[in-house]
Structure formats: C-alpha cells, structure tokens
Chains A and B, each alone.
Chain A
Amino acid sequence: MSLTFRLLIPLLLASFAWGEHTSNWAVLVSTSRFWFNYRHLANVLSLYRTVKRLGIPDSQIILMLPDDMACNPRNAFPGTVYNNADRALDLYGDNIEVDYRGYEVTVENFIRLMTDRVSEDMPRSKRLLTDDRSNILVYMTGHGGNEFLKFQDAEEISAFDLADAFEQMWEKKRYHEILFMIDTCQANTMYSKFYSPNILATGSSEIDQSSYSHHADNDVGVAVIDRYTYYNLDFLETQVREPTSKLTMGDLFDSYDEEKIHSHPGVRYDLFPGGEAVARSRLVMDFFGNVQNVEVEGGISRNETAWQEELAAIERMINEARRSHNESLTARPQPAAEEAKIGETKQAIRKEGAMRVDGESGWSKQLVGATALLGCVGIWAAGSWLEKL
C-alpha cells in the first residue's frame, strides 16, 4: 500500500506539471514586401502590439518584417504604420524590436529559427529559446496558395516544410503547446499537413478561397489591415483587456463571423491531446499572454500538502537507505566479502583463459612454422639426395 502510494504521488505531480507551461513565446512573421503589401506588415505589427500588451516581453517575441513601410518614400506619414484609417494608433511607435528584417526573412531563416539550427554566434534576440514548457504563438501572414506561403516574391514555404519543422521542434522538446495562426489566401491548407501533437491551428480561409483586406486608408493609399486579423484583434482588444482574463480559445473561435470576415476561417483541434473540448478550454492568455503572473498564486495552497508529503517521503527514503547501509556494515559483512572474492576469482580465471588461448595459439603457430621449415629442409635434402643418384 505504502509503496503504491509512494509511486503514485510523483506520477500525479508530474502530470500536473505537464499540464502547465512556464514561458510564453511569440513568432510573428510577415512574408511579403513592397508598398502595396502594407497591410501584411500592419497585421503583424498589430499582433506584436497586442501580445506585448498582454505581457510577452520583447525578448520572447521574434518579429519578422521583410520591408520597412514606415520609411518607404511613398508613405504620406513618415515613420508610422497604421492599421486603421482613423490613424489613432501608430503601430510603429518608438518601442519596437524587429528581430529579422528585410532580406533576412527567408524560409531558411524561419525554419532555422523554429528548429534552433543556428550558428553559435547567432545573437540571442534572433533565437527561439524555448523548452518543453514553452507555449508558442506562431502568427504568419502574406500571400499564399494551396499548401504554400510566399516569402518575399522569391521563394515559398510549403505546408510540408512547416509540418516537418514543428515535428522537429516536438522531437527536440522545444514546445509545450503551439497556437498556429495564419492569415493568407487558402490559409487552412497550410496547417493541413501538421502531424505533431499539442498544436492548435487556425487559419483565415479554406482551400480555393481568398482572404480579403478589411479597408483601405485613402491618404496612405493602400489597404491597411486584413479582415481575419482585424476581427481577431477586435476580440483581443475589446474582450481580453486584462492579463487576468479567463476567456478561452473557444470564445475567440466563436467570435469569428464569416459574414464579416468574407471567408471561412478554420480551426484544427485533432492534434491537441483531449481534442476539441480541451483545446477550446485553453485560455487565450495561455498563448497571447505571459504565464508568470497568471497561475502561480492560485497553485501554491493547492500544492502545499503534496509538497510536504513529498518531503516526508524523501525523508523516509533517506532513513531507509541509511538503515540498510548501517545493517550491511555491522550485521552482515561476510557475504559481501565472499561475493567480492568470487568476483575476483572469476576475473582471474577469465584472464588465465585468455592467456592460455594466447599461449596456445603462439605455440601452435611456432610449431607450424618449425614444421614448415623442417619440411623445406627435408625436401631440399631429399632433392639433393635424389640428384646424387
């Protein structure tokens, strides 16, 4: 009884630990450059601003921006990026940290970042330093198609590349749970090839369906945000106001209105342990916020007894070990010595055997050699004797 109890406690503890994460990371990627793709950068910057507001620090956000809209000469408002025609909020501001910029945003760099296959001199700000207790938000936007997403007009990442990268991350214990979110045309095809566990994926549109921009700013002269991102942000900004928010991912997914988004957003639950029900019950803050000040306080009182029981169990184990050690020292020294002796003799025999084998092979070789020599001498003698005849 006590043995099973002792075994159960750590197991239970371990399972509690598995259910939680200790850090939150965000990888925010825009994959398109050029002025007329202003909205893709605005999408990413909006998400960047939101996750920062909800507590993820810059050191845990990887921001990939392939172009610099703020400093584009075509920008009527130099140094700013807006995601709304009211231009109430400058996303660029004076406090943003772009980790990968311009032509650094490539498929290779993205996959290297995700799988951490980077050279030693890669600065920490450009690395995804996650472990098996990290929740990661991966947000991508750009121009895509069926099972691919274009990077900068030059290359594309396929759904298979992405799925393999996530599998490698899983094998390397680089994540605890991932929320994959993508806003591009035919976005849902991008997560269709995933096969690694603990991934919750959502996209803006089905196969053969375009994702649309929400509205254009007629002074900037371009569309400033995409619909799917706009309505995600709408939920995050108006509903998830505090880091203590208890809204779940289910609430977020339920907020999607196909009438407004003009495409069919999709969600993939099957990779998540526990399926749809568990995935939907995950808090929005599990992915968009930072964990430190969310769950720890509530957990202390609950874990108090378990922790003390564990201490007591360890103490019992130590006592048990000490007792058995003392017993072995005083009461039963003989058998141990015998055992040691037996071991020694066995070793010696084995050694001798080995030596004998060596010796035998040596002698036989010499015998064969001598016989051969004698044989040669005999043949020679016989030959010369025969010649004499």
Chain B
Amino acid sequence: MALLSSILALRRDARILKLPPYLSALCILVGVVWLLVLPLNEYSRNTYVSENALLPGQVHTYFTGSEHNIFRAYRHEVAALVDKPVQERSQKLGDIFRSSSLKVATQIYEYHASGRNISNQNVYAILQGPRADATEAIVLIAAWTNMAGEINHSGVALVLTLARYFKRWSLWSKDIIFLISGDSTSGPQAWVDAYHDSHSPASIEPLSIKSGALQGAVAVDYPAGPWGHRYDKLHVVYDGVNGQLPNLDLFNTAVSIASGQMGIGCTLQRMWKHDDSYQERLQTMLRGMISQGLGHASGPHSSFIPYHIDAVTLQTVGDGWHDEMSLGRTVESLFRSLNNLLEHLHQSFFFYLLMQANRFVSIGTYLPSAMLIAVNFTITSIALWVQSGRSAPVPNPASISSKSPKPDMTVAKKDGAVTLVPTSSLTIIERRLFLPLAFVGGAHFIGLLPLYIFNNTRQTLLPTAFNSTAIFTILLPLLTAFALSLFHRPTPQETTLIQCLSLLLLGMFLSALATLNFSLSFLIGIFASPLSFIRPIHPPQPNTPSTLTTTNRKAMSAVVSVLLAALNPVVVIRAATFYWGEDIVDVLVQAAEGWHVWGLWTQVVVWLVWWPAWFAGSVVVTAGLFS
C-alpha cells in the first residue's frame, strides 16, 4: 500500500516530466544501434530453403548443345526487329512462339503520366502442361527494354528458345506463360492487372487467353547484343512495388541454383564487389532499405509482387566467362523447382533484409528498430499532453526573494488540519483543443496539394513545380506563424497541444507503417526524429524569473527554424537526388508513373504523414519569432 501510494505520489512529481526527452533519445539511439548490429553474425542468419518441395538444383539440365544454335538464330531475329514498328515486332515474336506450337496473344496498353504517353504492346504465349490440370501457371518474362532502356536482345531470345525447349518436356505440372513485355515497368503491370481483371479497360486491352493462378514469375534481363556478351555474375533483383518482397524461398532457390548448381556468383542491390565484411553487409542492407523505402518498381518482376505472385529478375552483370546457355540452364533448373511446388510459396519469410546473397535478418529481429523510433514520437506526445494539462510550476518558497510577487494562496482544510496551498496547484486546467485540432487537420489537408500537383503536372513544368513547392513549403511555417500571431495568438498550451497531436499522429502512422514497409518507416522516423526534441520558446510567465532575453529567444527560434528547414521533406528529397546524382525531374516523373501505373504509396506517406509533421513542428518553433 505504501509502495502504491508512493508511486501515485511520484505521478505528481515535476521531475517525471523531465524524463520523456531522455527516454525518446534513448529509443532513437537504441533503434539506430539495433539496425547497425544486424549485419553481425550474432544477429543475422544464413539463408536456407524452407519449402521441401522446391529441391533446388536436384535435376540435370539439358539446355545445351543444339539449343545454343537456336538461341543464336533467335538472337539475330530479335536484333532484326529493333527498329521495326511495335505491331510488326509483336507479329514476328508471336510467329516465333507459334512455330513452337504455343498459343499466342498480344495486349496493347496505354498509360498517361506527367503528360507522357506510355504505350506499347505485350506478347505472350502459353505452354499448357501436357499432364497438368491448368489450374496453376508460372511466368517467364523478358521485357523488350530493360530498366536502363537498353534493348533486351539476349533476354528475349533466351525466352523464345526456352519456350521451344520447354515445349518438348512432358513433366510440367503447371502451365508456363512466356511474356515479352513492351517495357520493364508498365508492360508487366498492364499484363498482370489484366490477368486479374483489375485493369482500366479504356486504355488497356484485356487478355484474350489466360491460364490458372500464377504461382511465381522469373524475369531475365540480358541486354547483350546480337554477338553476345559473357557475363560475370547474376544480379538478383527482388524489390517489389511499395517495398513488398517475394517469398525468401524463391530468392534462395535462385541463388542456390545459380551459385550451387551452375557456379555463377550472385549479387544483390548493385553490390558488384562483396567480400562479406561488416561494412559491405551493412551497405548492402542500407541499399536494400532505401530501395524498399522508395517502393519503386525495380524490374519487370516488381508488378507481380502486389498480387502475391513471388517474382525475381535475374540480371547479368560484369564481364566474365558465363554464357547465355548457363543462364538458360539456371532458368530451366529454377522452373523445374517451381514446377515441384504443391502450393503457393508460404514457408519462408516475406519480410526480411538481405545483407548478402546468403545472409538475412527476418522481421522479428529488425522490426524493433523502426518500432522504437516510432515509439519515441508517441512518448514525447504523451509527455506534451500531460504537460499541457499542468499549471505553471510553483516556485519553491525557499528560493523566493522578498522582491518577487507572492503567489496566490488558498486556505485548505481537511480532517481538522488547516494549510496554505498555492492557488495554481488547485485549479483545474482545461485544454483548449479547437485550434490544435484544426491546425493539425489543416496541415494534413495542405499535404494533399503537393501530392496532387506532382502527380498531375506535365513533365516540362515539373522543375518549376518542384522549385516553387520547395520555396513555398519553406516559407509556409513562417507565414503561418505570422498569421497566427496576427489573428489568434496561440497560448503556450495550444502550441504544446499542436505539437502533441502532430507527434501522436506521426507515432501512430510510423508504427503501423513499420509492419508494412519497415524501411520507409525507419527512414522517415530518422528524418523526423528532431521533431521530438524541439520545444516552443515562449515568453516567460509573468511570475517566473526569465533566463533568456527577448533577443536571445528570437535568435534561438530563428536558428532552430533554419535547422528544421533543412529537414523539410522537399529539401531532403532534393539533397538525396543531388547526393546520388539523379535528376530530380526523372525522380518526379518516375514517382508520377508509379502513382498512375504501379499504385505507389510512397508519395502519400511523404506528403500526408511526414510533411504535416514537419510543418507542425516548424510552425511551433517559428512561433517563437513572433511572440
């Protein structure tokens, strides 16, 4: 009982409000350190194939010999089509499929984004498993152009050759669909949307022939020209749209077959050289996180993943001694493994961070990192809420000099005892919520504006739009604070509540997001973490001794405002593109394409979660300039 009452008494202790900033800082620190220790052997694991049915690399592959001649012939056929119009190209590719006695169909698609017109044609062929029941299918993709815009000569030729080769096997338990998509991102998206009847029929043609439920997809990206090119490694690309990932078993199977059975080294996240040191593991993991956080399509496979179809792209990189036939045999073995599947891949992880081709951490190990960072906002928010409901601190009577005004006192009587208590500690403080709620709601609504502008501006106007948004968003907190000081000067309590509600929303959004897209949540959490530690700098209460002069106060507000302006999402995006040497317009064009074609959600998170939180924090600090 005594313990309970002493704990309850602690609740009234003023010191308890001093604790949250340290707790928040500790959360952030632990969150970041947590991420940094993940690449160590103690916290990451070697990959393994969980699904018994896959049996990677347990079959002999026979894609050799005369198939090579056919491949070379097809590669010249493909090279001859490079400058031909789309219709003629599709016709010719269809004829090649038909000559292997496969059913062929085409699909025309057209998208509009950033004033651009993305239109092209997909060609696909279906190999019906001779003894299969046509309820399931797996997809082999070669985009006509790869992510870099190069013509995928050898990739397309390889798919044509493999189609002819697979047709002669009788052991397929699933149908195999060979897809030559018009490009690497929109084409597969149009095709997979239409396959599931979720396309917009106005601009995208429905599929005339279909097969069963798609169980997996493999894309080959091998842009070697008609005279071939021997490559060094396979770059396995696995990021899906919105940071969704394929089942780890598919990635492991691909790596296990390529490196174990075929002897081709595997690499990921553009880490061409990887000697398995801590630094390189960390770098790989961070690159993976940035790629996942951006949520963009990273290859023809990306569009399949939102439909819960596990998919990877095999990309040839470097100069080495592996030829097209070893890539073909890798695909053959991979398809034999996928053919063994009895049900959808489900045994292994869908949430993981890879730090090397055979080392990973799973969600249970890494999730606390992003969660701790999200929790830091919630802690601060709760502290601010408690603080907003407290009266101004009563000065310690012992330290009050005779000069300072006496605090108001009230006579309290209880159980026959009489005492004098400061009036302020007895009054009940009401929280005035209208302005804070209206402000935080309004801030989120303003976020819709850039979201709309960036997704619906023509490409030529995008630089102007970006620059004006940058200037506008930097100036907006200043203007808002000024306007507020003119029309309705917020009380210190209201300012505290604005920050409290804004951080509460941020904490909630980020912790929910951490379970969906860990990397995005983590990155935004890191960039927004200073928002936990800024405090409005109010003019001193009339009865408390001031430690700052008005000038100092305003100078401090100005400094913090400028520092915060550097964390403006627009500024961060600009700095990031500058750091990676990307053109901001390209990024914006891709983002707009993502919005209209792939169903990308990253912009929504940036403009409706991150930006409003930054805006509210900035206004709270900038208000100090006008108080």
Contacts and interface: CB of A to CB of B under 8 A. Distances in A.
Contact of B132 (A36, A73, A75, A216): A73
Interface stretch (B15-23, B40-48, B166-174, B485-493): B166-174
Contact of A221 (B52, B130, B340): B340
Interface string A113-136: 000000000000000000000000
Interface residues of B, number: 19
A36 B341 CA distance: 9
Contacts of A222: 55, 58, 340
Contacts, number: 42
B59 A221 contact: yes
Nearest to A37: B52
Contacts of B58: 216, 218, 221-222
Interface string B114-134: 000000000000000111100
Interface in A195-234: 216, 218-219, 221-222
A218 B60 contact: yes
Contacts of B75: none
Given A72-B173, A78-B170, A34 B342 contact: yes
Given A218-B59, A218-B60, A221-B58, A36 B131 contact: no
A98 B336 CA distance: 29
B173 A36 contact: no
Contact of B131 (A73, A218, A221): A73
B340 A73 contact: no
B53 A73 contact: no
Contacts of A219: 59-60
B339 interface: yes
Interface string B157-184: 0000000000001111100000000000
A76 interface: yes
Q: Is the interface of B mostly helix, strand, loop or mixed?
A: loop
Nearest to B132: A73
Contacts of B170: 76, 78
Interface in A229-254: none
Given A78-B170, A219-B59, A219-B60, A35 B342 contact: yes
B173 A74 contact: yes
B257 to A, nearest CB: 12
A72 B131 CA distance: 8
Contacts of B59: 218-219, 221
A218 B339 CA distance: 15
Which bracket fits the contact residues of A? 10 to 19
A78 B131 contact: yes
B60 A74 contact: no
B336 A221 contact: yes
Interface string A50-77: 0000000000000000000000111110
Contacts of B339: 74
B55 A73 contact: no
A73 B171 contact: yes
B369 to A, nearest CB: 36
Interface in B39-78: 52-53, 55, 58-60
A72 B55 CA distance: 16
Contacts of B169: 76
Interface string A19-35: 00000000000000011
A105 B340 CA distance: 23
A384 B52 CA distance: 106
Contact of B53 (A36, A76, A78): A36
Contacts of A75: 171
Contact of A35 (B130, B132, B172, B340): B340
A78 B172 CA distance: 12
B173 A73 contact: yes
B171 A36 contact: no
B340 A36 contact: yes
A301 B131 CA distance: 61
B66 to A, nearest CB: 19
Contact of A73 (B52, B60, B129, B336): B129
A72 B171 CA distance: 9
Interface in B147-163: none
A75 B59 CA distance: 12
A306 B314 CA distance: 84
Nearest to A143: B52
A363 B132 CA distance: 94
24 contacts: A34-B342, A35-B53, A35-B173, A35-B340, A36-B55, A36-B340, A73-B130, A73-B131, A73-B132, A73-B173, A74-B171, A74-B340, A76-B169, A76-B170, A76-B171, A216-B58, A218-B59, A218-B60, A219-B60, A221-B58, A221-B59, A221-B336, A222-B58, A222-B340
Given A35-B340, A74-B173, A219-B59, 19 more contacts: A34-B342, A35-B53, A36-B52, A36-B53, A72-B173, A73-B129, A73-B130, A73-B131, A73-B172, A73-B173, A74-B339, A74-B340, A78-B131, A218-B59, A221-B58, A221-B59, A221-B336, A222-B58, A222-B340
Interface of A: 34-36, 72-76, 78, 216, 218-219, 221-222
Which are the 5 A-B pairs with shortest beta-carbon distances? A73-B131, A221-B59, A73-B173, A218-B60, A76-B171
